[in-house]
Amino acid sequence: MPAPLSLPSIVCTRGRTLYFLEIIRYTKEKECVFMTLQQLKYAVTVAECGTISAAAEKLFISQPSLTTAIRELESEMGVTIFSRTNRGVIVSREGEEFLGYARQILSQAQLLQERFSGREQGEKRFAVSSQHFNFTVLAFSRLVQNFRGPRYSFHFRETTTYEVLEDVSQLRSEVGILALNEDNERFLRRMFGKLGLEFTELKRVQAELFVSAEHPLAGRRFVTVEDVSPYPCITFEQGEHNGQFFFEGLSAVAAQSHKTICVRERATEYQLLRALNGFSPDVGVSAMYREEFVSLPLEPKQFHTIGYILRRDVTPSPMTLEYIQALREAALI
């Protein structure tokens, strides 16, 4: 019988981290098969590009060669990473897990090369997933501005609550940023434990509702849920996971509104707030629009705890730590 798949291990000794970067699997013939970093890079690139042709072009190899390499990898590891369709490839459920470990191995391999060769190796990669906050974008822009390498591929995903959790748990993103409140905190903390994630608080803020400066309630010192219930509630859609526990903001406020509009982008949210005299129960409106919008404290008082999540079993990279520091600084603005 084949030996079970050995997943990447991390051992820490007196501050030095040793990474075992080969995944070994014994075939039925008891031959030892080594999966190379190049094969992992091929698989991750195909997943990112969505098609074999686009990945082959990015990797500067032929499509047949890449197709063969992926099939050999799947055969050697006994896993179906991709499902082939007429429009490209789709990552399978077990492929998502496999690619999560592959990304971790490639990241740690790059760190080893940089640490012991004294120079950066190839293209620097880094990804963040976040709910819709202005300060997270500010921190990300500072990170990019401070980066001095010749090549990089950085990703910033403003997305749904569930996808923030999924991206970090599957290692598509190194860091995730989201907010907890009394409506969702118990549920989300259970999710963190289930997915192997660790939440660290950045700041705690009083819940506010945001309206345009021309809104009939704009002059109030505070508002109640009853005050805003006749107006359209503009909030962010959560896709398939649109329940109250994944809601971005205070779900109880939206639930009592007579009119609800779900959007995906902040620009759309801002336009509808202005055009429809709507209100937003989400955590914050970008500072660049402060002259056009007014924040109204909600009574009785409620609070959001904004923080970041990391994979508990993954050692943060230097770039991850740099971004977290930029987050802490931006959160104070």
What is the arithmetic mean of pLDDT over 209-234? 93
- What does the pLDDT read at residue 222? 94
pLDDT in tens, 121-174: 567 889 999 999 989 999 999 999 999 888 888 999 999 999 999 999 988 899
pLDDT surpassing 80 at residue 189: yes
pLDDT of residue 6: 38
Give the integer Cα–Cα distance in Å for 324 and 309: 10
The confidence score (pLDDT) of residue 33 equals: 52
What is 208-301's CATH superfamily?
Periplasmic binding protein-like II (3.40.190.10)
Q: What are phi and psi of 310, to 5 degrees?
A: -130, 160
Q: Do domains 9-101 and 123-203+306-331 have the same CATH topology?
A: no
Say which residue the tokens 């997305």 belong to.
159
Tokens linked to 90: 């789709």
Query: In the chain, where are the structural domains located?
Result: 9-101, 123-203+306-331, 208-301
Estimate the share of the chain in helix, then strand, then coil, as percent rounded to the nearest 5: 40, 25, 35
Alpha helices in 82-184 (DSSP H): 93-117, 134-146, 161-169
198 has pLDDT over 80:
yes
pLDDT tens-digit map of 43-79: 999 988 889 999 999 889 999 999 999 998 998 888 9
- What b/e sequence results for 234-244 when a residue is b if at least 16 CB atoms lie within 10 Å of its CB, and e otherwise? bbbebeeeeee
For domain 9-101, the question of CATH label 1.10.10.10 is answered with: yes
Distance CA 203, CA 208 (A): 15
| CATH number at 123-203+306-331 | 3.40.190.10
- Strand partners of residue 139: none
Phi, psi of 11 (to 5 degrees): -125, 125
For 211-228, b where at least 16 C-beta lie within 10 A, e where not — what string? bbeebebeebeebebebb
Q: Give the C-alpha separation, 216 to 233, whole Å.
A: 15
Mean pLDDT, the chain, whole residue set: 83
